[in-house]
Structure 1
Amino acid sequence: MTLTIQDVIRWDPGAVRAVGDAARTRAQTSIDVANNVPTFPEWTGPGSEEAKQAIDRIRQTLMRDADAALAAARSADTAATNVQIVKDNLQQVLNMARDCGMIVDPVAGTVHPARPGMAQPNDWHNAEVLQQALQQVLAQANSVDQQLATAMDQADDVVDVPPEARPVPMPPPGADAEAVEQWWKSLSQKDRERLIDEHPPELGNLNGIPAAARDAINQQVLADDLGRITTTLTQHGVSAEQVLADPGFYGLSAADVTRYNNALKVQEGLNHQRGPEPDPSRQRPVMLWKYEPLADRGQGRAAIAIGNPDYADNTSVIVPGTGSSVKGGWLSDGHNDAMNLWDQAQLADPTHTHAVISWMGYDAPDGFSDTRVANPDLARSGGDLLAADVNGLWVTHQDPNQHVTVIGHSYGSTTVADAFAASGMHANDAVLLGCPGTDLAKSAADFHLDGGQVYVGSASTDPVSYIGTAPEYLHDYLNRKLGYPVGLNAGLGIDPAGDQFGSIRFDAEVAGRDGLDTNDHSHYYDAGSESLYSMTHIVTGNGDGLAAEGLTAEGRRQPHVDLPTEIDLPFGGRLELPPVGFDVPGSPAYIDPEAGRPSESVTKNHAY
């Protein structure tokens, strides 16, 4: 990856020279020891020749070590000199830009007048000249960077190389997954290992970095967040409650406390999804794929993967809805969604590998009393984040033939719909559970799936799943009349379970149902449920088999009117008419055929 101005500024030629000095000291030490190895010229007798030969080999080894150290010192000296030259050249260009009233972007490496609207032709000419000079310096820097990397790798074999002597260039902010992947691949193995060891927090969340590396980095950051508090407890001999009640007294910040509390929640999630089995070989293989404990005003973001999504044949991403957060414990606290789905996929298709990601990567509405639950703003912004993460899975996956399913529940299903319709998310299949509306996706065609389908699971007794049946104009009218209590955008779109949406609806009724019940909004992942059984078909790439197993359901429909088939004539007699019927225009599709299923047909014995 091309170096930026910031990368060159971070270079420290003094630290590089110090490496050369250390290598020279190592060389001199080896020479001194070699010169002081006794030769025993007068020693004769049994074994003497063999001993002298062994001693001579030691001397030769020491001299070879000295030669290697001297070579490393010379390489480090040359690199330090060239680093200094590049830094001086860069500073000269930056000084000229400042004197000419130019702005230099340290990341993009662009030069432009400070006030473009008032710039004269000569200003633009100067900007062009400075841009060319800057590009020449950065081209020089890239060449020197290769030399520096070689020199420090050479020195690393004989002395300890401090990080400041060879700062690893980071990808620029906002780099896409493809650029990050290219950057990661361009690093030497030593540089990758060093970055993982240093574990800068932002690195574990970059799409384009392999899942195993992300997990290693994020696990260390999480350990730091826990250790910052636990170390304080030990040092002061106090309880966690005392430290958390007054962190400033112990030299800690509010951010330290937030990181600690969310680290506890994520650790609980890892333990929960790993399972209670003491034998590691029988535990679920969990990975911390994402970890941002301070995000979303301290509610945090995180994603736990069961299985490695870089190598799995089938990967599913689960997106939660209203009331979910890292801080609130969605990754644990009895939520078995990912565990149940992964377990069933393993049993249903043991010949393929599977990964399920619990994605708590956006700011969901805090609850049904949160007015944001009635507008799509969080779904749209969350959709952008979700699309970036899901699309990143395709970049790091080792086989382009993987099958990816994205599953959204409740408000999370609206987020999934927006990720497909507005943010360019790429996946094979979509599953919407208890969906209150698909916002920007007006039909299944708006998902632009890669050969797959939009599948919908909506229990007839789940009241949340009917929200999208109300006409959109009604949401806007009421919102406007009430003074915009939920913001400018009201309502979450239309119901994807309707028979005109273009989706495939699968059986998702709740065993023991008894009319509309808000609790029935939370049973889609229940073990043994027909909903989980249907989703297992879908995530293993066998959604086409739902109909054959009798797991598909009719879509909800609008009220239907049938015209009379005969009328009385005013002069006597009757006139027979052809049968004609139509759906009531503008009416919601609220009639649910699933509500008429016999209760005994809804069971919890659907499991592999």
Structure 2
Amino acid sequence: MHSSGVVEAPAVPGPESHVLDAAAHGVLHVTGTDADRGHADPDRLAVAQGAAFLDALGTAGPGDLARADSDERVLATAQDRPPTAISVARWWGALSAATRERLIASAPAVVGNLDGVPYDVRDRANRTTLDAGLTDDATATAGAESGPTTARTAMLEQVRDALHQEPGEGPRRLVVLDTRGTGRAAVAIGDLASARDVSVVVPGMFFTVTGQMHDFTDTASDLYDEQTAVSALAETRTGRGAPASGDGDGDGSTGVTTGGTAVLAWMGYRTPDMSNILSLGLARTGADRLERVVDGLDAVRGADRPRLNVVAHSYGSTTALMALSSGHMRADSLTVLGSPGSEVQSAAELAVRTGQVYVGDAHSDPIAGSGYFGTDPGSAGFGSTVLDLSADTAGVDTGLFRRPVGHNDYLKPGTASLHDVALIGIGRGDLVRHQARRGQGGDGTAQPLPDMYLLRPQDLQPRD
């Protein structure tokens, strides 16, 4: 929705458009070497923006960087109004190895949160910030018999626990860590730098880093496991050539030659609580941040762009719908679960591949379909594909997967919704069962169960 009140279908920007836009705004100042630059003090860093901010970082010495890394003004620039991801990627690529090491060691809170910096570097920097914060908090309470746990300590402990990896699980990388205020964090399961299929999971209201980061990351890991399993089955049984539902480009891939899957547990914005549950302001801020996440992925991957699926729950769906209707972000598919609606009135307004908007409404979910924040994306005429998840919409359950119940059950292991979201995430939305296309020429009737639902042997066994 533009300020004039006229709804327009957003253009889908390509990577080259980001480069041209960044160049037009003077943020692509990149030099061939980082030697012999002028001295950069913390005050210069505190007021610098765009290319000047990056140049100041590259010329600062270890002492100035260390002071800047705890300066709220510098952190606000790096994390709230950073240079464009493409300019960061080019800047980082032009730095010497010695300068990169100096930045990682002395300014990890800055480097770890700059979209456009390689993900392995961000993980290393953010783990440095995490470990230092836990050590500082432990030192501060040393000697006390039962020192109180501070809010920051509780936040950092949640992030630490979220990074714990059991044998056989996908690798976990900490790609966002902001300890200011209520905090922000994002943990990637799998390799964002090489995965063919990338899913970004956006949480809804009442999710906080301090309260749910560990569980939220485990949920993303469950999705990673399911996607990995069905992706392997798709490769061996059907091949990648089968078309995704409504997609004329084969499997929906974009020419990527790498393999595997990655899931990002993105708690990168403040979600509503009881004090601000009626506001859309947090969704708008979250949409801006989500756009930057995708810009960062594009900047790091370049022409090797993965297939991108956004999975958004509850208020997170409102956030994702805003981002994908802004004209600044695109995705190959969008799956919204338990959505309270948004200002977007049609799938045609979204920068998502045709026929690749999916909606899941569970039985006894009071939020799904409420239209609380605007149009229900599962409503007739929106142009979405509605998943068969409600227990009262089919007379006979297959018994393979249980249908989700309530508002917070969608991505639990053993649910039909988790399996469907995994299929969509690997570009096989054509295989989700009993899907019904609503609006834009569809009659809304359920389709029959596909011949190949990509089942594993363990899927045929009873589940708890």
Q: Please confirm whether the aligned pair reaches a TM-score higher than 0.5, indicating the same fold.
A: yes
The aligned counterpart of 2:434 is 551
Aligned to 1:268: 161
Alignment partner, residue 467 of structure 1? 370
Judge conservation of contact 2:216–2:265 (CA < 8 Å) in 1. no
Q: Residue 238 of structure 1 aligns with which residue?
A: 144
- The 1:424–1:510 alpha-carbon spacing in structure 2 relative to 1, beyond 3 Å, is farther
Unaligned segments of structure 1, at least 5 residues: 13-89, 91-104, 111-137, 150-161, 245-256, 469-490, 557-591, 595-604
Distance change in 2, residues 1:166/1:293 (3 Å): closer
Q: Where does residue 373 of structure 1 map in the other structure? A: 277
Within 2, Cα distance between the matches of 1:455 and 1:346? 20
Distance 1:227 1:386 in 2: 31
Q: Distance in 1 between matches of 2:65 and 2:314?
A: 48
Q: Structure 1 residues 205, 499: CA separation in 2 closer, same or farther (over 3 Å shift)? A: same
Equivalent AA in structure 2 for residue 354 of structure 1: T
Cα distance, 1:180 vs. partner?
A: 0.4
Q: Deviations over 1:470-524 (max 9, x none)?
A: xxxxxxxxxxxxxxxxxxxxx41111111210011122235999xxx99611111
Separation in structure 2 between the aligned mates of residue 422 and residue 270 of structure 1, nearest angstrom: 33
Shift of 1:424: 1.9
Structure 1 residue matching 2:188: 3-state secondary structure: strand
Choose which of 373, 390, 396 in structure 2 pairs with 1:509: 390
Distance 1:521 1:166 in 2: 45
1:410 matched residue in structure 2: 314
Amino acid at match of 1:8: G
Q: Distance in 2 between matches of 1:496 and 1:512?
A: 18
Q: Which has the larger radius of gyration?
A: 1
Shift of 1:310: 1.3
Task: Give 1:377 shift.
Answer: 2.1
1:92-123 CA distance string (max 9 Å, x none): xxxxxxxxxxxxx963699xxxxxxxxxxxxx
Q: 1:215 to 1:410 in 2, by over 3 A?
A: same
Q: Residue in 2 aligned with 1:454?
A: 357
Residue type of the alignment partner of 1:316: S
Which of 212, 217, 237 does residue 125 from structure 2 map onto? 217
Aligned alpha-carbon RMSD (Å): 3.9
Q: Secondary structure at the match of 1:221?
A: helix
Shift of residue 529, structure 1, vs aligned partner: 1.4
Shift in Å, 1:373: 2.5
CA distance in 1, matches of 2:458, 2:393: 15
CA distance in 1, matches of 2:127, 2:324: 30
Q: Report if the CA contact (8 A) 2:355-2:384 is conserved.
A: no
Comparing 459-468 and 493-502, the one that deviates more: 459-468
- Aligned partners of 2:458, 2:384: CA distance in 1, in Å? 23
| 8 Å CA contact retained: 1:459, 1:509 | yes
Which residues in structure 2 correspond to 1:14-29 (within 5 Å)?
A: none
Q: Give the CA deviation at 1:434.
A: 0.7
Q: Which residue of 2 aligns with 1:492?
A: 373
Q: Does 1:337 align with 2:219?
A: yes
Distance 2:329 2:210 in 1: 27
| Unaligned runs of at least 5 residues, structure 2 | 1-28, 69-73, 236-258, 395-402, 447-456
Is 1:362 the counterpart of 2:269 in the alignment?
A: yes
Asked if structure 1 preserves the Cα contact closer than 8 Å seen for 2:197 and 2:262, the reply is yes
SS at match of 1:422: coil
Task: Tell me how far apart the structure 1 counterparts of residues 392 and 126 of structure 2 sit (CA, whole Å).
Answer: 40
2:190 is matched with which residue: 278, 287, 307? Answer: 307
- Partners of 1:384 and 1:443 in 2: how far apart? 20
- After TM superposition, the structure 1 = structure 2 runs for residues 6-405 of structure 1, keeping only pairs within 5 Å, are 8-10=38-40, 107=48, 163=62, 174-234=82-142, 237-239=143-145, 241-242=146-147, 244=149, 257-271=150-164, 274-275=165-166, 277=167, 282-294=168-180, 298-328=181-211, 330-333=212-215, 336-350=218-232, 352-366=259-273, 370=274, 372-397=276-301, 400-405=304-309
| Residue pair 1:262, 1:326 contacting (<8 A) in 2 also | yes
CA-CA distance at 1:422 after TM superposition = 2.5
Deviation at 1:203, TM superposition (A): 1.5
- Relative to structure 1, the CA distance from residue 343 to residue 165 in structure 2 (aligned partners, 3 Å threshold; closer, same or farther) is closer
Structure 2 residue matching 1:267: 3-state secondary structure: helix
Whichever residue aligns with residue 447 of structure 1, its letter is: L
Over residues 269-325 of structure 1, what are the superposed CA-to-partner deviations in whole Å (9 max), with x where a residue is unaligned?
Answer: 112xx23x3xxxx2320000100021xxx2210001001111111100001101101
Match of 1:599 in 2: none
Are residues 377 and 108 of structure 1, via their aligned partners in 2, closer, same or farther at CA, if it must alter by over 3 Å? closer
- How many equivalent pairs are there? 370
Report deviation, 1:331.
1.7
* Alpha-carbon distance change, 108 to 417 in structure 1, aligned in 2, over 3 angstroms: closer
Q: Deviations over 1:127-171 (max 9, x none)?
A: xxxxxxxxxxx9xxx9xx99x99xxxxxxxxxxxx736999x999
2:115 is paired with a residue whose SS is: coil
SS where residue 175 of structure 2 aligns? Answer: strand
Deviation, structure 1 residue 197: 2.2
CA drift of 1:267 comes to 0.8
Contact 1:508–1:529 (CA<8 Å) still a contact in 2? Answer: no
Q: What is the CA–CA distance in structure 2 between the aligned matches of 1:400 and 1:263, rounded to whole Å? A: 34
* Alpha-carbon shift at residue 540 of structure 1 (Å): 0.7
**Partners of 1:228 and 1:492 in 2: CA distance:** 42
TM-score, with length taken from structure 2: 0.70
Change in 2 beyond 3 A, CA 1:451/1:10: same
Decide whether the 8 Å contact of 2:324 with 2:351 is kept in 1: yes
Higher helix fraction (1 or 2): 1
Structure 2 matches for 1:584-603, cutoff 5 A?
A: none
Residue of structure 2 equivalent to 1:101? none
Counterpart amino acid of residue 304 in structure 1 = V
Separation in structure 2 between the aligned mates of residue 316 and residue 109 of structure 1, nearest angstrom: 29
- Cα deviation code 1:2-39 (max 9, x no counterpart): 599xx835279xxxxxxxxxxxxxxxxxxxxxxxxxxx
Cα contact 1:509–1:530 (8 A) shared by 2: no
Residue number in structure 1 paired with 2:256: none
Q: Which amino acid aligns with 1:541?
A: G
User: What SS does structure 1 have at the residue aligned with 2:276?
Assistant: helix
- Is contact 1:387–1:423 with CA below 8 Å preserved after alignment? no
Q: Equivalents in 2 of 1:336, 1:174: separation in Å?
A: 29
Contact 1:336–1:525, Cα closer than 8 Å, also in 2:
no
Normalised by the length of structure 1, the TM-score is 0.54
- The higher relative CO (CA closer than 8 Å, separation ≥ 6) is in 2
> Which of 346, 356, 368 in structure 2 is aligned with 1:443?
346
Distance 1:299 1:454 in 2: 31
Instruction: Supply the distance in 2 between the matched residues of 1:180 and 1:335 (Cα, whole angstroms).
Output: 27
Q: Give the partner amino acid of 2:296.
A: G
Q: 1:543/1:180 Cα in 2 relative to 1: closer, same or farther (>3 Å)? A: same
Q: Do the aligned partners of 2:363 and 2:392 also contact (CA within 8 Å) in 1?
A: no
CA deviation vs aligned residue, 1:38-86 (integer Å, no higher than 9, x gap)? xxxxxxxxxxxxxxxxxxxxxxxxxxxxxxxxxxxxxxxxxxxxxxxxx
